[in-house]
Amino acid sequence: MLFVLGLLLAGQVLVAQSVVTGKVIRVTSGDTFTLLDVRQRPYTEQDVVEPWGFGEELDLNPPPDETPTIIHLAEIDAPEKNQPYGDTSRQKLAAKLMGRVVRVAYFEKDRFNHIVGTVNRGDRWINEEVLAEGCAWHDKRYSDNDELDTAEQQARALRLGLWAETQPVPPWEWRQKHQIPTPEYTEPEGAAAPGTDGN
């Protein structure tokens, strides 16, 4: 009984977080990019063949799906495209990720069905790197991650990136002023914040 219960609990933990790996094919802002997720697709009737007329067999190597997915870096918020430092922030993220294979861990998608997650390139935690270079804000509306907060505070103190400006405007205030929809992230009950997985 305890063994079965342990399996059920383990199953709940596995379901809580999803992981996708793929190649970055486009960077649209300092916290958003498109990932080409290449995965093995389920078998279909098109994969059934009849060699020599002796019944049906499955083609064991069906072609993969190539699914582009929009990814937002969780717990941070970068300047908008037309906002001061917005294009520089995008270029810096592109230099890190464009054409690279990354791993994205996430708990849910936003209201636009985009993934909001922790991004790792090898052992590099990209969410934290972006903050440490002064290319985004730690979005404390949805995150209380101490490591991300420290990364932002250090960038502020050194006046790196957007913090070289006298009074940089947070992107959520910019979007509100210019009536731009805001991506949303809500941490599921009982789940760790996405950024805590990437260090």
Q: In this structure, what DSSP letter does residue 182 have?
A: -
Number of Cβ within a 10 Å radius of residue 80: 20
Threshold 0.85, pTM exceeds: no
**Is the residue at 48 inside a domain?**
no
Say what the pLDDT of residue 48 is: 46
Q: Domain for residue 4, yes or no? A: no
DSSP conformation class of 42 = P
* Structural domain includes residue 177: yes
Do the domain assignments include residue 120?
Answer: yes
* Cα–Cα distance for residue pair 33/100, rounded to 1 Å: 12
β pairing state of 65-73 and 115-121 = parallel
Total tally of structural domains belonging to the chain: 1
Residue 159 is assigned to a structural domain of this protein: yes
Does residue 7 have a pLDDT over 90?
Answer: no
In a domain, 10, yes or no: no
Quote the domain boundaries for residue 81. 16-41+55-197
Give the Cβ contact number of residue 182 at 10 Å: 12
Would residue 11 count as lying in a domain? Answer: no
CATH assignment at residue 90: 2.40.50.90
Query: Tens digit of pLDDT for each residue in 83-132?
Result: 999 999 999 999 999 999 999 999 888 888 899 999 999 999 999 999 99
Residue 47 falls inside a structural domain: no
The pairing of beta strand 124-125 with beta strand 115-121: antiparallel
Per-residue pLDDT tens over the stretch 35-52: 998 665 554 555 444 444
